[in-house]
Structure 1
Amino acid sequence: MTLKKDRIYQYDTKQRWKVFLFLFAALIAAASLLYTNHLVKSLSQSERTKAEVWAMSTRSIMTMPDVDDQFISFIYAVRDSLSIPAIITDAKGEIIFWRDLDSTKTNIKEHADSTTGNLHYDPIYFEKQLATMRRNHAPIALHLDTGEIWSVYYRDSDALRQLRIFPYVQLSLIAIFLVIAYTVFNSIKKTEQNLVWVGMAKEAAHQLGTPISSLMGWLELVRTKFDAEEDSILNEMERDVKRLEIVADRFSKIGSTPTLTNQVVYPVIQDFIQYFRVRTSEKISFELKGDSTVEARLNIQLFDWIIENLLKNAVNAIESEGKITVNISDNIAKEEIFIDISDTGRGIPKSNFDTVFQPGFTTRKRGWGLGLSLTKRMVDYHQGQIFVKESELGKGTTFRIILKSNLRYEPTQV
């Protein structure tokens, strides 16, 4: 019981760590965005100040022609040091000055007056620039001594625009890196786990071989000594020993590539139910129904293991008395076979429909939580699918297996 509690604690701790790491990553992302937003606001205010200073210096140059040359040079130096895309318009909306715009659009020689060399700006280009600037920022009003009001429009500099999108690019690259790193490390971890699993499985099969052979010998000796060739108890014992042989054979196949052969599904399931029925409580009834002719490519030892795990799971879900139904049907259009295994047990919460297939997850007081995860692995080997079709608390659960019919499979390792 203590070991069981430790495994549940470890599983819950693992889930909590995943949630914690996700929240921590979200906190880092939020902090990065907030700090970048703070920088953007500071730079935006700085650029607005630059636009105001540029506008005021331009106005000074235009409205103070009698000022000494040294002061004018200073004003020019101040104005030219401010680099920001901006446009000044008069009260009528006519463009008076601009700065840091595309020179190929702002200085175009007029074809009609090419001899004088007069330059003008591209009106369409400036309309687009003004529209953009109006969307970005409210205009700055410049009040002249004559009572006229000029409007200063500006847009963000390239550096500020890049800074706005930088955190999103940065977080995207970090996310991509983390996904790749997680995938690689998870793949390495699974490979290591598979190697350990394969080694343990083959060692278990090897260790079972000797006592199973001895048990078969002892059974034959008992039959001979007591002249009990047709004794029903010894016959059932022999069936159990042969079952042990099948179990050992299953473990020996892990890590190898077992063969798939065409099999009629109905009798394969029927044979196992007949074996399993007499080893289960009489209060639990079994029913096998559906299409008895459909075929699929199966490895019988592994497929028996699938059915065994699901039936055991159904029996454990039934607290006292109930029924287990196996229904076989097919979808001719998609060349699929459906195997539905239903019980009248306690049911599964909808939130656990996917979790039940994870290694280590179990709601039982005893058990390792490996049955359904192994089942899914073996269904995957048959290139099929398994999922919880439906379940209702207190009424029962239906697992569905989908296999392809009339299809040549590419074998893979179990």
Structure 2
Amino acid sequence: MSNPYQSKKRWKYLLLFFAVIIAGSSLLYTNYLVKNIARSERTRAQVWARTMKQVLSTIDEDHLNFVFLVRDSLSVPAIVTDESGEIKTTRGLDSTKTFIDIPPEPEKNPDPKKKKPPVYDPQYFENELATMKAQHQPIRISIPGFGGSYWLVYYKDSQLLTQLKVFPYVQLSIIAVFLMVAYSAFSSTRKSEQNQVWVGLAKETAHQLGTPISSLLAWIELLKDKFNAEEDPLIAEMSNDVKRLEVVADRFSKIGSQPVLEQHSVYDVVKDFVDYFRVRVTDKITFEVNGDHYLTAGINVPLFDWVIENLLKNAVNAIEGKGSIKVDIAANKTRNLVYIDVTDTGKGIPRSKFATVFRPGYTTRKRGWGLGLSLTKRMVENYHRGQIFVKDSEVGKGTTFRIILKNTSHDQDTTA
């Protein structure tokens, strides 16, 4: 039988693979555009540098106007320095920070209404120049008539190119957020539908079991009267099993509604069910229950019996031949909790499957449905507000499941 969880997992990986392909393709294409625009801006910066050289060497006024026109068409920010690093001219920078004329001396009685000239910000130039040096190699232009001296043209990416570099990451982030929200909404809806189906099936099962259970109880009473077998042990065991069916029907009827939790001795509840269970399995498996008899917790007995039953059945199935199952009940006084450890000497669980065993559909048995531990987790966490997990396991040696419930012993002592 195919495992629905494994099938769903494969679909998730397939969708993730296609998502990575789409994201990678988007980034590669954007990178291709960025390189083309960067190459174009490099060419424009080179043209601007050449016009600067022409400005310094030409004396033809008409030609000079054309050169200035070409120079001023550059859209990328640029700084020109001499070989010593002194700034000679700039282009495309923040005009509020690039006033390089020496400001006038401060007046003794300044007019507050008089507009002050902008102040040259050397730190701004240092930051911009450092950015340009980090982004691109400078363009070197020689200065005619100055004995081989040269200027360096530094430039940085235009605002368009910067935005284009950032855009795919913003786009992918928005898509990722949308997909996560959509997936959360879809998962929530799907879980709600599954819960409705589960509740409806459970209640219908309880309803269908009601009639034959009542009939069986009546037939048992008739057998006792007809054969005068009030003390017959076979009929007594038959009666116990029918009562067990009543408990099962009661469990299913409680699904979907908030069960009433009552204060019970954890040891007594567990011990009673283990005693019932041990006579219904092979005598090659021994059972042991240890713990404090006075530890109490909020428990719905029919549902908690179901939890212990599922754990014991899994333990029995894991044991091949002879083995033992031990239940230890202890208190964590610091955190005010009750620990219930169910340990078997079965074939064990690989560490990689510790979380997987609680998922619907996971089973190692050929005829298993993989629902027992999933229901167990639901009943412990949703109905008893506790926790259940694989505490420890070693392949070939055995497994320990741990249930954690709130310890109410102290509350009862205080009330008393």
TM-score, normalised relative to structure 2: 0.92
**8 A contact 2:320–2:346 mirrored in 1:** yes
User: Aligned AA for 1:138?
Assistant: Q
Corresponding residue for 1:255? 256
- The yes-or-no answer on 1:56 pairing with 2:56 is no
- Where 1:106 maps in the other structure, the secondary structure is coil
User: What residue in structure 1 maps to residue 96 of structure 2?
Assistant: 104
**Which residue of the other structure, out of 387, 392, 395, is the alignment partner of 2:394?**
392
Residue equivalent to 1:295: 296
Distance 1:63 1:72 in 2: 10
Matches within 5 A, 1:295-334: 295-334=296-335
TM-aligned CA deviation for residue 145 of structure 1:
2.5
Amino acid corresponding to residue 401 of structure 2 in structure 1: F
What per-residue deviation string (whole Å, max 9, x for no partner) do you get for residues 94-128 of structure 1? Answer: 1111001111111266443589x998842222112
Partner of 1:214: 215
- SS of 2:30 mapped into structure 1: helix
Cα offset, 1:62, TM superposition:
2.3
Q: Show the counterpart of 1:81.
A: 73
The equivalent residue for 1:173 is 174
Report deviation, 1:395.
0.6
Contact conserved, 1:264 with 1:295, CA < 8 A, in 2? yes
RMSD between superposed Cα atoms in Å:
1.9
In the alignment, what sits opposite 2:140? 141
Deviation sequence 1:350-383 (CA, Å, 0-9, x none): 1111111010110101111000000000011211
The answer to whether the 8 Å contact 2:56/2:144 transfers is no
Query: How many pairs are equivalent?
Result: 399
Cα distance in 2 for residues equivalent to 1:405 and 1:121: 72
Question: Aligned-pair distance for 1:407?
Answer: 9.6
Q: Is 1:95 equivalent to 2:96 in the alignment?
A: no
SS of 2:305's partner is helix
d(CA) in 2 for partners of 1:292 and 1:406?
A: 13
Deviation at 1:239, TM superposition (A): 0.6
Q: Distance in 2 between matches of 1:248 and 1:118?
A: 89
Q: Match of 1:411? A: none
Counterpart-to-counterpart distance in 1, 2:248 and 2:119:
90
Segment of structure 1 superposing worse, 101-110 or 358-367: 101-110
| Percent identical | 59
Deviations 1:10-31 (A, max 9, x none): 4332221111111111222222
Q: Secondary structure at the match of 2:329?
A: strand
Contact 1:133–1:154 at 8 Å: present in 2 too?
A: yes
Q: What are the equivalent positions in structure 2 for 1:237-248 lying under 5 Å apart? A: 237-248=238-249
- 1:57-99 superposed Cα distances (whole Å, 9 cap, x missing partner): 12212221x2241x32322221122111100011221111100
Provide the secondary structure at the position in 2 that maps to 1:272.
helix
| More displaced 10-residue stretch of structure 1: 391-400 or 123-132 | 123-132
Do the aligned residues in 2 keep the contact of 1:110 with 1:118 (CA within 8 Å)? no
CA contact 1:109–1:118 (8 Å) conserved in 2: no
Aligned-partner residue type, residue 24 of structure 1: F
Deviations 1:21-65 (A, max 9, x none): 11111222222222222222222222121211111112212221x
Equivalent position amino acid for 2:236 in 1: N
Query: Equivalent residue of 2:408, what SS?
Result: coil
Matching residue of 2:414: none
Q: Distance in 2 between matches of 1:251 and 1:327?
A: 28
Deviation at 1:157, TM superposition (A): 1.4
Please list every run of 5 or more consecutive structure 1 residues that lacks an aligned counterpart in the other structure. 409-414
Counterpart for residue 412 of structure 1: none
